[in-house]
Structure 1
C-alpha cells in the first residue's frame, strides 16, 4: 500500500464510471436487521494484514445472520483499484468493498455505490471529520471503519545522545526547528528531520497549521496560491535548503521514508499512526522510537485525518444483505474485533481502540491520537481528486529539489488545479 493510500492509474475512471449508469438509486439502509432470505455476498479489501481480523468479523456477523454468507476477497493495493474498475464496468463488482475519501465522491456521483440510511447506524461516537469525508451531496455513502492520524515519530536514542528533550504536545514549529538543528550532525551524516514529500502525512498538515488550505470547502478553488499555503510548503523546503537539517530531495527520493527512518540516521519524521505496526516488527529500530503529536503551526494545531469506509455496490443482487453487513462492520462489536487483531488498523470508534493501543505498549499512540483528533482536518478532496493530485505530484518535486522557488511552483499548481476543478 502506498503511504497516502491514494489510487494510481485511475485518472480515466470518471469516464468509465459515468458509462456505468446511475445504479439502482436505492438506499443501502433498506434492512432494519436480520433477513430470512439466503444469500452469499462478496467483500473486497486490499490489505492482507487485515485478513485474520476481517475473517473473525465475518464469523461474528454470520453467527448473527445465519442465512448470509460472506466471501472475502483480498487484492493487493497495487491491483485493487484496477480490478475494481474492471469489475464495475463488467457488472460483477464486490457486494461490499473498501473505499477511501479520495475516490468516494466519484463513485457516489456515478451511481456505483449506495447511500447509507443514517437512521439505522450509530455514528455518534465517530470523529466528525471521518464521517464527513464519506459524504457526498449531504448523504453518507460509507460506514466508517478505521482512522489514520499523522504524528511526529522520533528516535529516542538520538535525542538522548544529543541531550535534547523528547517532543511534547506543546511543541511549536520553533521548538521543532531548534531540536532539529541540535540533532543534526553533518560529520556523522545524521539529520534532525526527514523532509519527505508526502501530502497526507506531511505538507498538508503544515499547510493547515499555517492557516492555508488545499481546496476551498465547496471544492471549486485551489488554495495553492494562498500565501499561508505557500508558508506551509516552505516549512519543508526550508528545512532542506536553508536550515540544512534534512537530507537532499534526491536522497529521499531514492529510498522509502520507512527505510530511511529505520536506518537510525534521522531523529524525526512525520508518519502515520499505522507505522507503529511496521516499527514494532523491526526489533532493532522499533525499541528506539516513539511518537508525539505534531508541532503546532503559526496559525493553529492541525492534523490531516483519513479513514476507510465500507460501501455497498449499487447493482448487487443482495443489496439488503450487503447493507446489513456494511452496517455491522461499523458496530462497536466488529471494530473491537478489528482492534484485537493486532494489525495496523486503528478503529475509527474510540470505544473500540483499547486492544489496539495495548498491542503497542512501547509507543504513546493513545496520547498522540487523543491530542490530535480534536484538531483533525479531513483529507482535501473534490469529485475527481486524482486529476489534480497528479499535477501536485508532478510539480512539487521541483520545489523540493530547489530548482524553482516554492511559491512559483505552488502558483502553477493552483492555475492548473483550478482549470481541472472548473470542469468537474
Structure 2
C-alpha cells in the first residue's frame, strides 16, 4: 500500500515482534515449493540479501524466515534492510557498481523497471515457475514475457466498516456506488463522516482510486474517458455533500485509519496492514468487504500490493543458483501461509486461500478482493509511474480547484 514517498509501501505497525512459524522441510525445492537449480551451489557458503523490511514486526519475521531458508540450503544469510524510500536508489547504484546482492526483494511495481535495466536474471533459468499463482501477481513479476520474481504474499484495499455504527444507524453494508453514497450520507453525524479515503497527491492517492476507476472500466492507458471521470465524480460528490471530509486530499492511508479508529469515520478504504492498530482499540468492532462497484453484479477490481523476490545478475552462476533456492523457499506453501498470517497479507498461490481464510477468518474480505485484483504494471509496465502521476494530478485538480472531472483528466492525460 502506498505511503507519501510516492511508492506503494506497507506502513509498518509496531505490534510486537511476532515470530513466524518456519517450515524448513519446504525450503529445498520440495513438493510445495518451486524447484531451483543446484549446479555449483555446494561451494557457496553465504548469500547477501537486500530488502526494505526495516521496521518491526516485519524485520524480525523476514529475518527469521530468510535465515531458516539459508539454513536449509546450507548458507549463511547476510541480510541488509534499508528504508523503503532508499531501496531503488541503492539498487541502481549497486547495479552500476556491480555490487548487487544475491537475493533482492522489490516492491512489485518496481520489478519491471529493474528488469528492463538488465539487472535481474529470468527465474526460468533456475527452473522456477509461477504455476498456480494469482494472475495479477504473475503479471507484476513478468517483463517482456519472462518471469523475474516470485511473490509469496500480497495485499490490496477494501472497504472497512464499523459494524456497531452501521447497526445503530440501520444502514446496510454498501455494495454499489449508489448504496455507498446513501450510506455515507446517513452515517455522517456531528464530527463523524460517513466514509474516509486518501486522495492525496502521491501514488498513495492513485492506489486508493484504482478500485473505483478499474471497476468502472477505466484504464491507465488513457485516463481521459467517461468511465474514469464518473469514478472521480463519485469522490467529488462524496466530499461536496459532506459525506467525506475535505481533508481527504491531504490524508495518507495512516491518517484515514486514525479517523476511523477514533470513530470520526464510519467506513474507510484501507488495507489489512491497519489491523494491528485497529485491534489495539478496545471495543472497536469492524469488518471488511470489497470496494463497492458502480452497479450490482459488477466485479470489484482492486490493485495488488506486496513484494517480489528476485535473483540479480551478479555474474556468479553458483551464487545465483543458491539464491534461487532461497527464493523457492520463501515461496513454499508453508512459508506463504506463515508469512501471510504474521504480516496480515494474503498467500499468492490460489490453492492456499481456502485454508488461509479458515485459519484467519478476519482476512476473508481481503482474500475475496485479491482474487479479482490486478497488477498496476500489467498494462504499461515500466511506464506505470507516469500514468499514476497523471491520475493523482487529475484527482487533485477536480477535488481542490473545482475542475470538472473529465476536463481534469483530459488535461492530466495531455500533460
TM-score range, shorter chain: 0.7 to 0.9
Matches within 5 A, 1:275-424: 275-280=274-279, 282-284=280-282, 287-298=284-295, 300-315=299-314, 317=316, 318-340=319-341, 342-352=342-352, 363=362, 365-366=363-364, 368-380=365-377, 381-416=380-415
Q: Is the 8 A contact 2:301 2:372 kept in 1?
A: yes
Q: CA offset at residue 310 of structure 1?
A: 0.3
56-65 or 304-313: bigger deviation: 56-65
Within a 5 Å distance, the mapping from 1:16-415 to structure 2 comes to 31-32=37-38, 35-47=41-53, 48=55, 49-66=57-74, 68-117=75-124, 120-121=127-128, 123-167=130-174, 171-185=175-189, 188-197=190-199, 198-199=204-205, 201-215=207-221, 223-241=222-240, 243-249=241-247, 252-253=250-251, 256-280=255-279, 282-284=280-282, 287-298=284-295, 300-315=299-314, 317=316, 318-340=319-341, 342-352=342-352, 363=362, 365-366=363-364, 368-380=365-377, 381-415=380-414
Task: In structure 1, list runs of 5 or more residues that go unmatched.
Answer: 9-27, 216-222, 417-424
Give the secondary structure class of the aligned counterpart of 1:237. Answer: helix
Q: CA deviation at 1:117?
A: 0.7
* Preserved contact between residue 146 and residue 347 of structure 1 (Cα < 8 Å): yes
1:4 and 1:127 map into 2 onto residues whose CA distance is 28
Seen in structure 2, the aligned counterparts of structure 1 residues 399 and 258 have a Cα distance that, compared at 3 Å, is same
Distance 2:360 2:212 in 1: 27
For 1:182, what is the secondary structure of its paired residue?
Answer: helix
8 Å Cα contact 2:398-2:405 kept in structure 1:
yes
Whether the 8 Å contact between 2:232 and 2:395 is mirrored in structure 1 is no
Q: What SS class does the counterpart of residue 219 from structure 2 fall into?
A: coil
Measure, in 1, the Cα distance between the counterparts of 2:274 and 2:355. 17
CA distance in 1, matches of 2:261, 2:91: 34
User: Take 2:194 and 2:346, find their aligned partners in 1: how far apart are those partners?
Assistant: 28
Contact 1:104 1:134 in 2 (8 A): yes
Q: CA deviation at 1:393?
A: 3.4
Q: Distance in 1 between matches of 2:78 and 2:354?
A: 28
* Secondary structure of residue in 2 paired with 1:130: helix
Distance of 1:75 and 1:93 partners within structure 2: 14
Deviations 1:215-244 (A, max 9, x none): 2xxxxxxx2111111112212111112x32
Which residue of the partner structure matches residue 18 of structure 1? none
- Partner SS state of residue 42, structure 2: coil
CA distance in 2, matches of 1:80, 1:316: 21
- Kindly report which structure 2 residues correspond to 1:5-24, keeping only aligned pairs within 5 A, or say none: 6-7=6-7
Taking structure 1 as the reference length, what is the TM-score of the superposition?
Answer: 0.79
- In structure 2, relative to structure 1, the CA distance for the partners of 1:51 and 1:316 (3 Å cut) is farther
CA distance in 2, matches of 1:156, 1:118: 50
- Other structure's SS at 1:43 match: strand
CA contact (8 A) 1:134 1:142 kept: yes
Greater displacement, 113-122 / 303-312: 113-122
1:308 Cα shift? Answer: 1.7
Q: Secondary structure at the match of 2:304?
A: strand
5+ residue gaps, structure 2: 9-33
Deviation of residue 267 (structure 1)?
Answer: 0.8
Instruction: Verify the 8 A CA contact 1:39 1:321 in the aligned structure 2.
Output: no
**Alpha carbons 2:160, 2:267 under 8 Å: kept:** yes
* DSSP 3-state at the match of 2:47: strand
Report the counterpart of residue 420 of structure 1 in structure 2.
Answer: none
Aligned-pair Cα RMSD in Å: 3.0
For residues 119 and 98 of structure 1, the distance between their equivalents in structure 2, rounded to whole angstroms, comes to 17
TM-superposed deviation, 1:370: 4.2
Answer yes or no: is the 8 Å Cα contact 1:134–1:140 preserved in 2. Answer: yes
Q: Does the aligned pair in 2 maintain the 1:29–1:116 contact within 8 Å?
A: no
- State the secondary structure of the residue aligned to 1:149: coil
Conserved 8 A contact 1:204-1:214: no
**Count of residues paired in the alignment:** 377
Tell me if structure 2 keeps the 8 A contact 1:96–1:311.
yes
8 Å contact from structure 2 (residues 198, 248) kept in 1: no
TM-score (norm 2): 0.81
Change (3 A) 1:350 1:34: farther
